[in-house]
């Protein structure tokens, strides 16, 4: 490849990079605008036209980035999980025992929800009503991965199905959050409730036979 070809390739790569940065910037702008409108006016009352107007873009531009309004809800969930993964990565949480790691994961999720309760209330409720909150397997897959890594280290019983455990943990998390947002002020401490729920799941319900006075 001659010098001119190399320069052209570099310029082409730079152009693609600029285009991708511009696309991502607009994607983020539309997301921030939509979430702000959802919190202020409600998810159901907000239209794609209003999002376009508030973001000062054409209506078609919004649909080019988010084919449906529920796409903003899905992106909200993706960003929440990504933020938790980033925090735990910085803390090297993968080195923790599986029970501590699950506890830390749910704590960080609770921190995000508690720090933005109004936003969480609006978007979590909308996700349950109009989105795929309980059908999206993303959270249960992430939790199942943590359980499986614990199982491989001998910290989880060999017979435990990691996928089933992940689904159970995710269902517990979502049901707790949905109860937490239903009342104002919050009807219980989110962190405490999630810790207690995880303890039940990890330890089980039945007491050991020795504790029950059985031989």
The confidence score (pLDDT) of residue 209 equals 61
210: tokens are 């020795």
**What CA–CA distances, in Å, run from 173 to 76, 101, 179, 201, 206?**
16, 15, 10, 11, 22
Written as tens digits, the pLDDT of the chain (215 aa) is 555 555 555 555 566 688 999 999 999 999 999 999 999 999 999 999 999 999 999 999 999 999 999 999 999 999 999 999 999 999 999 999 999 999 999 999 999 999 999 999 999 999 999 999 989 999 999 999 999 999 999 999 989 999 999 999 999 999 999 999 999 999 999 999 999 999 999 998 888 766 656 65
The confidence score (pLDDT) of residue 8 equals 54
Closest CA relative to residue 102, chosen from 137, 136, 159, 143: 143
The confidence score (pLDDT) of residue 134 equals 84
Q: What is the dihedral of CA 86, 87, 90, 96, to 10 degrees?
A: -110
Among all chains, which residue has been given the structure tokens 């019983």? 157
| Burial group, residue 96, by CB count within 10 angstroms (0-12, 13-18, 19+) | middle
Measured CA to CA, the distance from residue 58 to residue 37 in angstroms comes to 17
């Amino acid at each position: 490849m001659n010098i001119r070809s190399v320069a052209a390739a570099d310029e082409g790569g730079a152009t693609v990079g600029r285009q991708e940065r511009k696309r991502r910037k607009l994607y983020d702008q539309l997301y921030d605008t939509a979430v702000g409108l959802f919190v202020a006016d409600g998810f159901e009352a907000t239209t794609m036209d209003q999002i376009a107007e508030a973001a000062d873009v054409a209506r078609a531009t919004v649909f080019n980035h988010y084919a449906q309004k529920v796409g903003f809800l899905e992106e909200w969930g993706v960003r929440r999980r990504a933020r938790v993964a980033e925090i735990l990565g910085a803390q090297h949480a993968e080195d923790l025992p599986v029970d501590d790691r699950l506890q830390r994961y749910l704590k960080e999720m609770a921190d995000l929800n508690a720090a933005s309760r109004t936003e969480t209330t609006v978007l979590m409720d909308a996700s349950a009503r109009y989105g795929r909150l309980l059908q999206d397997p993303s959270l249960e897959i992430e939790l199942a991965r943590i359980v499986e890594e614990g199982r491989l280290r001998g910290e989880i019983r060999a017979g435990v199905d990691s996928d089933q455990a992940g689904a159970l943990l995710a269902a517990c998390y979502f049901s707790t959050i949905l109860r937490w947002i239903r009342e104002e002020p919050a009807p219980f401490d989110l962190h405490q409730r999630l810790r207690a729920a995880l303890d039940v799941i990890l330890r089980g319900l039945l007491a050991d036979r020795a504790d029950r006075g059985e031989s």
